[in-house]
Amino acid sequence: MAENAKAPPRRNSSATRILLAISLLGLLLFAGSIAFVVYMVTSVDKGDIADETYVQVKLQGPLSESPPPPSLFADPNKPNPTLTELAGAIRASGRDERIKGMFLQLDMPSAGWGGLQELRTAIDDFRASGKPCVAYAEILDDASYYLASGCDKVVLAPSGLTMVNGLASSITYYAGTFEKLGIDAEFEHVGDFKSAIEPYERTGPSDAAAEALNYLLDDLWTQLVAGVATGRGISEDTARDLIDHPPMSPEAALERGLVDALAFQDSVVARIHQVGDEGWVDSLAAPVPEELQEAVKDRFTPIGEVVKSERAKNRAQDDQIAVIYAEGNILSGEAEGGFFGGQVLADRTFRKWMREVRKNDDVKAVVIRVNSPGGSGLASDMMWREIELAKADGLPVVVSMADYAASGGYFISAPADWIVAQPGTITGSIGVFGGKLNLGGFWEKLGMTQADFKRGELSDLFSSSHGFSDEGRETYRRFLSDFYEKFLARVGEGRELERDAVHEVAQGRVWTGRQALDRKLVDELGGLQTAVAKAAELAKLEEGAYGTTSWPRQKDLLEVLLEDLQDQSRVEVDVDLGLPPVAAGATEGAVEHLVLLEAMLQDGAVALLPALPRFE
């Protein structure tokens, strides 16, 4: 038997060598990948700013206030510049001797008035350095022209369009639609001017709401006219006439002094270095010589390179000021993004950022960049507590208000040591509301009925199948009144004002930043740069001896990869609106507002800006 047993097969040495080679190659590739990730994480791009160049700034579409959420495929060293970074880079270009001027290309940029003023003051600072600034656009609307008017020269495309025709605010009211559908809006509010619920209960604005919005528009209009007049070197009466009776054709815009020249972009960029020469405007109509065309590629430094340079300077500093971007509608929970692609400010996420900042020994002060119309009262109060804890740890806290810091957005601003707002920031709106939509009549129209079983007289208080009972409504009113008093107390404590003094400027009324300054709701007018300088002063940091670090922090590739693998980078917010599928023709804006409203109402009291105005 033993003699008949087969000998074991001989090992194939060549196959073994191949397997070892493949394993070694895989190990080398893995090590190389790790080395690449480490290099990407640790390397700092300091930007490439060439001598004797013009900084090229292109502003196009929506301009983001806050850093983008983490992405697996994004380079953490090269995130898209935020609006405030662009403003800072424009100012830095004015100080940089290598930069000789600025070419501002406007392609229908979109931002609120706070953001526009952030950019406009940066353009004003650049121009004050004595360097020329040329703005170019194919279409000029109010926002674009407000920015362009800060430059020495404004050039419009020969067939361009001007729509510099002032401010308009429109609010859609749904009460008539709800009546046809059998839906009753069951809301309560505290504050005569707290009109956020009016679109669901009325067919038009109340007298108080109209008064507040008109007062707001009056000040924004004054600011727009003054900005155009100052930039163009004309009287306010002339600027007002230009906007009241706008020239729409390019020829009319040139004749009335709205723009300085009509030309194509290639001619402007080829001759921008000659902008100070006599006859420059006339030269734009001439053919571009070949030598000028060839020189264009070396004539400009993209603004992104200046942004990189500023980021590198910030990282090089040991002492840091944390800039926390608090943007979006305030909700309870965690979230990286928002409904319908919008921005959400989730309280647990914000509190996590604040704790990270408090534990960071390099951080000597905090600036909270608030850009929020408000939202959940509960979430606002939880965020307020986290700011108080930071102050208790000895960190100075300064708020920089952007487009909106209203209602819940003001609630989280109130505890700051110092509040800075732009003149056009919309703030205040100190008041609350809450309630529900009674869908009982709607279900009845559809032939649907609902049987309810309960224990407890008010266990069905927020049922969507019927309205409030008299006892339920009174109970809910007391709850909202109590929260309003808490709101007044939080503001009074932070602003060192008596309760009645706060109530006088509260009641849900909105103010511009300039109006809020007169009412002691803010301390100073200015942008993020002003707020950072104040934070440095409070922290006793010397000028130029500190940097800034943004939160949400830009995570490195390895962190993002691990979070994606663990499915921890995003928490979905579940919202049950209790409405049937959206009918064809319903506007996305209305549905979005209802979804957000339902999410906020889940926490009880809502502190939200009344009927968020859209300026057109």
Q: State residue 575's pLDDT score.
A: 34
Q: Number of folded domains in the chain? A: 2
Question: Which region among 71-85, 425-439, 458-472, 542-556 has the lowest average model confidence (pLDDT)?
Answer: 71-85
Q: Band of the pLDDT at 613, cuts 50, 70, 90?
A: very low
User: Are 299 and 322 members of one domain?
Assistant: no
User: Are 297 and 373 members of one domain?
Assistant: no
Q: State residue 28's pLDDT score.
A: 72
User: Are 495 and 362 members of one domain?
Assistant: yes
Q: Does 551 or 47 have the greater pLDDT score?
A: 551
User: Are 271 and 323 members of one domain?
Assistant: no
CATH of the domain at 130: 3.90.226.10
Does residue 542 belong to any structural domain of this protein? yes
Q: State residue 475's pLDDT score.
A: 93
Backbone angles phi, psi at 371, to 5 degrees: -140, 75
- Cβ-count burial 356-381 (b if 16+ within 10 Å, e if not): ebbeeeebbbbbbbbbbbbbbbbbbb
Q: Does 433 or 57 have the greater pLDDT score?
A: 57
Determine contact, residues 465/440, Cβ cutoff 8 Å.
yes
Q: What is the pLDDT of residues 99-116, one digit of tens each?
A: 999 999 999 999 999 999
Question: Which region among 185-194, 223-232, 587-596 has the lowest average model confidence (pLDDT)?
Answer: 587-596
Distance CA 148, CA 150 (A): 5
Kindly state the average pLDDT of the residues 27-32. 70
Does residue 74 belong to any structural domain of this protein? yes
615: β partners: 169
Q: State residue 297's pLDDT score.
A: 86
User: Are 293 and 321 members of one domain?
Assistant: no
Percentage above 90 pLDDT, the chain: 67
Residue where one domain finishes, among candidates 278, 307, 336: 307
- Is residue 560's pLDDT more than 60? no
Q: State residue 605's pLDDT score.
A: 59
User: Are 490 and 515 members of one domain?
Assistant: yes
User: Are 268 and 355 members of one domain?
Assistant: no
Mean confidence (pLDDT) of the chain: 86
Expressed as residue numbers, the domain containing 255 is: 53-165+246-307
User: Are 332 and 298 members of one domain?
Assistant: no
Does residue 482 belong to any structural domain of this protein? yes
Q: What share of the chain is helix, strand, coil (3-state, %, to 5)?
A: 45, 20, 35
User: Are 271 and 401 members of one domain?
Assistant: no
Q: What is the pLDDT of residues 441-493, one digit of tens each?
A: 999 999 998 888 999 999 999 888 889 999 999 999 999 999 999 999 999 99
- Is residue 333's pLDDT more than 60? yes
Distance CA 468, CA 461 (A): 7
Three-point CA angle 357, 307, 47, nearest 5°: 115
Q: State residue 196's pLDDT score.
A: 85
Distance CA 482, CA 94 (A): 51
Does residue 238 belong to any structural domain of this protein? no
Does residue 368 belong to any structural domain of this protein? yes
Q: What is the pLDDT of residues 283-306, one digit of tens each?
A: 999 999 988 888 888 999 999 999
Does residue 341 belong to any structural domain of this protein? yes
User: Are 453 and 566 members of one domain?
Assistant: yes
Does residue 22 belong to any structural domain of this protein? no
- Is residue 3's pLDDT more than 70? no
Residue where one domain finishes, among candidates 256, 287, 307: 307
User: Are 341 and 424 members of one domain?
Assistant: yes
Residue with tokens 């604040």: 354
Does residue 506 belong to any structural domain of this protein? yes
Residue where one domain finishes, among candidates 307, 329, 349: 307
Q: What is the pLDDT of residues 116-129, one digit of tens each?
A: 999 999 999 999 99
User: Are 478 and 405 members of one domain?
Assistant: yes
Q: State residue 143's pLDDT score.
A: 96
